[in-house]
Amino acid sequence: MVRRLLVSASLLVLAACATAPAAVTTPVATPPEPAAPKSTAFSLSTGSARTPEQLAMRFDKADLSFRIHPAAKTIDGVAVLDFTATAPLDALVVELDTVLPISQIVVDGRLLRPDQWSNPQGRLTIPLAQTLPTGRSTSVRIAYSGAPHRAVRAPWDGGFVWATTPDGKPWVATAVQGEGCDLFWPCIDHPQGEPARVDLHVTVPSDLSAPSNGRFLGKIDHGDGWTTWNWTTRDPDTYAITLAVGPYVELSDSYVSRFGDRFPLHFWHLASDDPIKARDLFAQFAPMLDFYEATVGPFPFRDEKMGVVETPHLGMEHQTINAYGNGYALDGKGYDWLLQHELAHEWFGNQLTNADWDDMWLHEGFGSYMQPLYARWLHGDRAMEAELQAMRLRLANRFPLVSGQSHTSAEVYEGDVGPGQDIYGKGALIAHTLRLLIGDEAFWTAVRTSVYGRPDPRPGNFQPRYGTTPEFIANAERASGRDLGWFFDAYLYNAALPELRMVRDGDRVELSWVTPSGRPFPMPVEVEVDGRVQTLTMSDGRGELTAAPGAHILLDPRNRVLRRLPHIEQFQDWQKAEAERRRAAQAAARTASN
């Protein structure tokens, strides 16, 4: 409201200056516009340790109502949150960004005064009138509004995205994986803060659509230029709740599953898109689902939908309504990699949710491994190996994938303090090496047990669950019947890769594994000698063979083992030097032009 008044005052001043004689006009100072409030560092991070109160309550349901104002770039929100005490509870604690002022809080029908709650740094604490006994439930209604944090570069630096379509219509999206759900609704901003159910009521201008998570419950045209879209979803990952608003065209169909049932497919794309490109992308839904159901197991949310919505940012794994912003780009792979990757997260992220951000490689590593596996499913080994090699060239190996300690998202995704992009490619290559080591049967048994909580998933016999790295290790050891501590110690808990060294002395060839921790690494390795391949067991990390002094020896000819390769490090060093040289040349050119 203040902003609108200031703009109107400025327009009046400009009109007066335009009509008054130049000789009598005097400059009129426009009052400076108040600085917009900024989100706190706490609100812009996600995964901070939960409070004792949050550990003592079960999040039963969130009923979320939003009114989206595209022109003003603001929202009005009302959240009704239901909790049950799992231990005696004296206060309700949730997170909500302080840039969204709270106008009202009601607990179990009792209106609170502003001095009866506090929201320092975005951690909202609401003391209860009396201790809530174990097993008793409570409900809080929180009304708020304002201009939510805007994304700087979604989805990597996320928040609200306020954009326009090519034909000038409003186009709005949220992407908050790295910052958390509290940027636009009051939640427990932690991976283990999932509510059992979320109902969404999204009110938007009537010429726009608002697809969202879960099942569609219908829309209400209020006859005043506004329409409310109603949705319901179960067990959503906290950052997977999303808003998407735009002039969409909906494509729909049903998928006939290899498990003998059907479930709905939906794609909301911009009305301005080429309809042929949109239909071609939609046609990829079914074969991708068949791959996942054949390889991993049943689509987890078949009682709701597989949904995709086009967004003004690249993409994000929003449960049952994945964001797609790849622009129908072709890259020679024969499938849309972004669509396929975000779909992977319905299994690795939304069905199996990381218990802590330190376990995020379970989302991104396995999610990324699905792309080369799908390439092979479609086009054979060469396509798979090409994608794996592209991943290998990008590994940084600066920090371990897993630290064994609780982390926020930034401590994992920021490459200067944590593994960063390695959770994608390195995680995928570790999964590939593990699969080739223990075999397909044991590997997929371990994966399914981790994803579904059981090795024999069928539609209806599993629920979304949390997973950890130690649990996955235990599942892999159980499925393979092997002690794999050496494997995961080397690959997950150390930054540098194992190195395979070779020494030749006459016709004697000695191989040895060297790891950063110095622990034994009994990784079998194939060796090709003049075209003939043999496998060394390397049971104590060492192996020996004989070969004529002039024989050509090729280690690991099929690239089965993730290991240190000096020629890749040389390539990466050259890339960095070239990038620095280009930056220096550009800086010199700018200086010369000035």
Residue pLDDT, tens place only, 459-512: 999 999 999 999 999 999 999 999 999 999 999 999 999 999 999 999 999 999
Residue pLDDT, tens place only, 183-192: 999 999 999 9
Residue pLDDT, tens place only, 104-145: 999 999 999 999 999 999 999 999 999 999 999 999 999 999
Percent pLDDT > 90 in the chain is 92
Tally Cβ neighbours within 10 Å of residue 182. 30
Let me know: does 121 contact 43? Beta carbons within 8 Å: yes
Confidence of residue 15 (pLDDT cuts 50, 70, 90): very low
- Give the angle 38-43-45 at the CA atoms, nearest 5°: 120
Let me know: does 292 contact 343? Beta carbons within 8 Å: yes
User: From edge to edge, which strands make up the β-sheet containing 226-234?
Assistant: 110-111, 102-107, 137-146, 74-85, 57-69, 197-205, 226-234, 215-221
Q: What is the mean pLDDT of the chain?
A: 94
Residue pLDDT, tens place only, 45-61: 999 999 999 999 999 99
Let me know: does 187 contact 193? Beta carbons within 8 Å: yes
Residue 23, pLDDT score: 35
Could you give phi then psi for residue 475, rounded to 5 degrees?
A: -65, -40
Return d(Cα 129, Cα 550) in angstroms, integer.
Answer: 85
Nearest Cα to Cα of residue 62 among 194, 240, 164: 194
Q: Is the pLDDT of residue 7 over 90?
A: no
What is the average pLDDT across 262-290? 98
Q: Is the pLDDT of residue 299 over 70?
A: yes
Q: Is the pLDDT of residue 5 over 90?
A: no
Nearest Cα to Cα of residue 363 among 391, 333, 341, 332: 341
User: From edge to edge, which strands make up the β-sheet containing 248-256?
Assistant: 248-256, 262-270, 306-310, 322-324, 315-316
Tally Cβ neighbours within 10 Å of residue 334. 12
> Where is 127: in which H helix or E strand?
strand 123-132
- pTM of the full structure: 0.92
Residue pLDDT, tens place only, 322-343: 999 999 999 999 999 999 999 9
Nearest Cα to Cα of residue 140 among 105, 112, 115, 96: 105
Residue pLDDT, tens place only, 507-559: 999 999 999 899 999 999 999 999 999 999 999 999 999 999 999 999 999 99
